[in-house]
Chain A
Amino acid sequence: MSSDQPFITDESRVVTETRDARMTGQGDRFNSRLREAFGSSPFILTKFDKFLNWCRGSSMFMLQFGIACCSIEMMHTYAVKHDLDRFGSGVPRASPRQADVMIVPGTIVSKFAPRMKRVYDQMPEPKFVVGMGSCTISGGPFQEGYNVIKGAEEVIPIDIHVPGCPPRPEALVYGVVKLQERVANGEAAPVTVKPYELEQFSDLEKDELVEKLTDQIDEDELVMRYNFADSP
């Protein structure tokens, strides 16, 4: 701004012009390629979100998380031949605090569900979960088991289910790419109340079972209560 011109005081004019230009698409400086890519919505925040989502979907850090049989196929998906890294999502991180995506590869049993919930809670937002294999859908072949949680979705929200026992690496790749699409589109798993939550032992309803365990479990200890009769 040159010094001989007076400072524009009529702010409303500037704002209106800018907004009009944006809405009607006039003025070359708003018709960049970036703008074409992101559409003509006037809110810069939306575009930034979209940009971020695109970034997120294109570079996902997986949690190195092996549970059961499916983790063997998961390792094959990471390693040579299938090489998940081709799709920008193949860097397994050993710590949940560095990971965006958790692949749940296997059967969840009563003893492990609280730990899995813990690991999920330790991941920073935004976080996504791929349920790998039939066990994470319904308990799979072990659904009848006295100790088996009927699907990982009882404990944590799942974005993508990959069926199979175990799914082939190609299927997992497809699932991960689908997740990337969803992430890039800004979709995530709907927030639902999970049947099984980590709770403080003292917060549980004082029923017969809780009374019985009072001398075994500390009051402030985290517990998970399973109602197997209500499970599908």
Chain B
Amino acid sequence: MSLEAPDTPETDAVTEHDPEELAALLGDLVVGRDDHLNAPGFVIRPDTVQETLSILKEQAGYDHLSVVSAQEYENRYESIYHLKKFDDPTQEVSVVVPADKDSPVSESAEPVFRTADWHEREAYDLIGIEYDDHPDLRRILLPETWQGHPLSMDYDKDQPQIASLPSHVNPIQEHHMDDESDTMFLNIGPHHPATHGVLHLKTVLDGEQVVDVESDIGYLHRCEEQMAQNGTYRHQIMPYPDRWDYISAGLLNEWAYARAAEDLADIEVPEYAQVIRTMGAEMCRIAAHMLALATFALDVNGDFTATFMYAINDRERVQNLLEDLTGQRLMFNYFRLGGVVWDLPEPREEFFSKTRDFLDQLPGSVEEYHNLITSNEIFQMRTIDTGILPPEVAKDYGATGPVARGSGVDYDLRRDDPYGYYDELDWDVITEDGCDNYSRLLVRMQEVEESAKIIGQCIDLLEDWPEEERNIQANVPRTLKPDDDTEIYRAVEAAKGELGIYMRADGTDKPARFKIRSPCFSNLQTLPEMANGEYIPDVIAALGSLDIVLGEVDR
């Protein structure tokens, strides 16, 4: 491994806990064991969630609640809290909380991990588990007037539903939070150019300052989890990940599913395919970050400006390469379980030289962006010291990816939980300590250069790869049926952060539960922390720097 040694001494000092130690630490709280493929699982009573999680957080250092995945069984409901450490994400533990079938009530984890707020609301919305002590248990993805919980067992898909349009009341009506303040309510979205899709922000203003901002999501909730649960592991699920984070990050998303399913079904991927995957994924990351840059410049600088056009131009270049590789511009469907669908395009030399041309002109483009925006005084005034997200807050909300790294949280699954070919290559994890909108942008721009470094090394490797060893796919059975009741949570570093998949197999060729841990979902949750007390333009800048994709937030 040629990565630089981590310069923070405490990374080395992360103590490992074996399952027995953790069981001893939790003592009587543990009522059973339900181990997952990725982590030991402790079953606890539904009224001891806060106690258990705070022991694990305070005493064992599990400070990252990746996701809460909920599901219904024949005889019970179950919420699983997937915990990790920011310093070493390979140390995982699952806390399994069964709830009663007739009245599924479980204690909320929100007082321990802020991020549990939205995750539990989603579990309530889709599965129907109620969380005691939750600050605001409402539906989050579906309209508030929806009947039934769609991923529960007795849901009737054909029943009529009514969705209301409450925002047809005056969008700038007077609104008084209390007797003294004279505040105004302002709707931003769901159709608004600055919300990057269909996000609805309910903001309360005091003068020009934001008192409160609440994101209303679910305008693009297109049942991705249900779709995956209806598909077979082998072929039918793979097209969907492309459509979660649709900003050209297709291969990164596909990798999340591929990694989880390959570990679930115990498939070994040939090394050659891993190199192709790594190269393709990094091309996607460049494309995704270019759009993030383009739209951020659009939000902060104004209408369709030069930066937007330049960045789109660079995206077109990457997309041409990806099209050569996969045959598609946006929805690649290129990965298969056990490898990739086909080898590099022939003639290979042409593909290599095209890719090298792109890599050669990239530093010039990045330089140009620095001239255009990051060194622009007006841009700096808008972004430096606005949208502050301190590292502790970012961790508490489970923020990952460039958002966390812009707050100085040194967390990148490509390095910390290596997969693919990343640990054989020479590249760096970028962090910035500014914690503001500017830092998040800088992280993305530098990551583009790191990705270019990775692609360059992959190209060199692929060029010299002996012809008889170009094995693009492992031998995978036509029908995959992982063992009954095996569960796994696996994550990869997507363009926006930790993209994880939780899957439970039930012995058939389709997953019984498929849960997507979307980085944008957790990242968007931090918006009030950044925006409250700031001005309206800063909200827009903060939202732009979060770089959310609504397809991934709502799934």
Contacts and interface: CB of A to CB of B under 8 A. Distances in A.
Interface of A: 64-69, 71-73, 75-76, 78-81, 92, 94, 96, 106-107, 109-116, 118-119, 141-142, 144-148, 165-166, 168, 198, 201, 204, 207, 209-210, 212-213, 216-218, 221-229
B453 interface: no
A68 B220 contact: yes
B466 interface: no
Given A94-B193, A147-B222, 7 more contacts: A66-B197, A111-B221, A112-B219, A113-B163, A141-B243, A213-B162, A221-B165
A92 B308 CA distance: 14
Contacts of A111: 142-143, 163, 218-219, 221
B295 to A, nearest CB: 9
The listed residue with most A CB atoms (<10 A of its CB), out of B163, B196, B248, B313, is B163
Contacts of B330: 69, 72-73, 166
Interface string B291-308: 100000000000010001
B144 A216 contact: yes
Contacts of B291: 72
Given A80-B312, A107-B222, A224-B165, A64 B157 contact: no
B214 to A, nearest CB: 15
Given A111-B221, A223-B162, A68 B193 contact: no
B161 interface: yes
B316 interface: yes
A217 B329 contact: no
B165 A69 contact: no
26 contacts: A68-B222, A68-B246, A72-B247, A73-B329, A76-B315, A78-B304, A79-B304, A80-B313, A110-B142, A110-B143, A111-B219, A111-B221, A112-B198, A115-B219, A142-B222, A145-B222, A146-B223, A204-B162, A213-B162, A216-B145, A221-B165, A223-B145, A223-B163, A224-B162, A226-B162, A226-B163
The listed residue with most A CB atoms (<10 A of its CB), out of B157, B160, B193, is B160
B168 A221 contact: yes
B158 to A, nearest CB: 4
The listed residue with most A CB atoms (<10 A of its CB), out of B145, B155, B222, B551, is B222
A118 B246 contact: no
B75 interface: no
Contacts of B168: 118, 221-222
Interface range on chain B (Cβ under 8 Å from partner): 35 or more
B380 interface: no
Nearest to B158: A229
A72 B243 CA distance: 11
B190 interface: yes
B508 interface: no
A7 to B, nearest CB: 59
A213 B143 CA distance: 12
Contacts of A114: 163-165
Given A64-B193, A65-B191, A146-B155, A226 B145 contact: no
Contact of A146 (B190, B191, B196, B226): B226
B159 interface: yes
A146 B164 contact: no
A96 B192 CA distance: 10
Contacts of B329: 73, 168
Given A144-B230, A216-B144, A72 B165 contact: no
B456 interface: no
Interface in B209-240: 218-223, 226-227, 230, 239-240
Nearest to B220: A68
A223 to B, nearest CB: 5
A232 to B, nearest CB: 13
A215 to B, nearest CB: 11
Q: Nearest 6 pairs between A and B by C-beta?
A: A145-B223, A69-B246, A229-B158, A79-B312, A114-B165, A112-B219
Nearest to B331: A165
A225 B160 contact: yes
B447 to A, nearest CB: 20
B9 interface: no
Given A223-B163, A224-B163, A141 B227 contact: yes
A201 to B, nearest CB: 7
B223 A223 contact: no
B14 interface: no
Contacts of A79: 304, 308-309, 312-313
B164 A212 contact: no
A108 B116 CA distance: 28
A67 B198 CA distance: 6
A61 to B, nearest CB: 14
Given A79-B312, A223-B165, A212 B147 contact: yes
B166 interface: yes
Nearest to B223: A145
Contacts of A145: 222-223, 226-227
B163 A72 contact: no
Contact of A217 (B164, B191, B248): B164
B142 A69 contact: no
A227 B159 CA distance: 7
Nearest to B246: A69
Nearest to B323: A168
Contacts of B246: 68-69, 72
A129 to B, nearest CB: 14
B160 A228 contact: yes
A201 B100 CA distance: 36
A216 B504 CA distance: 36
B89 interface: no
Contact of B551 (A68, A73, A201, A221): A68
A44 B108 CA distance: 73
Given A78-B304, A114-B165, A67 B220 contact: yes
B537 interface: no
A112 B430 CA distance: 38
Nearest to B139: A111
Contacts of B551: 68-69
Nearest to B312: A79
B150 interface: yes
A115 B168 CA distance: 9
A115 B219 CA distance: 9
Interface string B316-354: 100000000000011100000000000000000000000
A213 B221 CA distance: 22
Contacts of B161: 110, 209, 225-226, 228
A209 B248 contact: no
A79 B303 CA distance: 12
A144 B159 CA distance: 14
B331 A69 contact: yes
B190 A147 contact: no
A225 B143 CA distance: 12
Contacts of B223: 142, 144-148
